Amino acid sequence: MDLELKGAKVIVTGGASHIGQAIVFAFAHEGALIAIIDKDGSQAERTAKAARERGAPAVFVVEADLSDRVQGESACAKAIAELGGTDVLVTNVGSNRPDFFLELDPDGWQRTIDVNLTSVMACVRAVLPEMIKTRRGAIVSITSIAAFGEPRQSVYAAAKAGVIGFIKTIAREYGGRGIRANLVAPGLTLPEDPEAVGRHSLWNERDEIMNPAQTDYVVKNTALRRLSKAEDIANAVVFLASERAARQVTGELIAVSGGFGSR
């Protein structure tokens, strides 16, 4: 099925590494024009080069730390200028340091919220006027199944749950302006290619985040008895971004977790 995304102007935040990189590649295969916003400029440039080789006619890189609201809005404005507009925004940037709530440093709570929730608000605020002007656009935000409650994920879960509430509200507020807004909630998704992990990626400390015993627990509690791959999440994102495939889909959440916990 032709998703009719050829030439679409797409912004992907956190697009340099892992799931974000897979999302960029998926849009590249569709022939979209892409802007990657990421604080890891060198990794983003490597991803951009690979995306062009996969069929993207143009890929731009905007280096920014999206935990800073002002940087986020400015980066999106620059991406819109580079692309000459925007049809799709994918908010993928995120970060988490799993631990039990009482072990978390309260000084780090705000950064977790800023990276995972405030960044989404800032980028959506930046693209909405452009989408309203053209009366079309798709917003796809990456949340997490942790948003429904998982041990060692308290503050992260709170931020990701906030993303769900925010995007569902945006869908209702701006659907009449031709804008669709949806969510994808990945389950545990481990990077398989070292080239997909930049220097700022949390997966550089993989064993501290998810050791083999924890990974085994997730697999055993997943209906399909396997972990998601980055490409699985990317395919769901591209589907939701497509006006042809998902024209009547808004305010919805797709869990791509293999049925973890049978949610």
How many angstroms separate the CA atoms of 37 and 18, rounded?
14
Alpha-helical (H) ranges within the chain are: 18-29, 41-53, 69-83, 109-113, 119-134, 154-174, 206-209, 212-220, 230-241, 243-246
**Which residues neighbour 261 within 8 Å (Cβ) at sequence distance 6 or greater?**
145, 221
- Alpha-carbon torsion 78, 141, 236, 177, what sign? negative
Q: pLDDT tens across 30-49, in order?
A: 999 999 999 999 999 999 99
Classify residue 40 by its DSSP letter: -
The angle subtended at Cα 241 by Cα 204 and Cα 27, nearest 5°, is 55
Marked catalytic residue, from 25, 27, 156, 174: 156
CB 145 within 8 A of CB 185: yes
- Domain 9-256 class, CATH top level: alpha beta
Q: Provide the mean pLDDT of the chain.
A: 91
Q: pLDDT tens across 159-183, in order?
A: 999 999 999 999 999 999 999 999 9
Q: Does the pTM of the predicted model rise above 0.85?
A: yes
Domain parsing of the chain, residue ranges: 9-256
**pLDDT surpasses 80 at 204:** no
156 is catalytic: yes
**pLDDT surpasses 90 at 263:** no
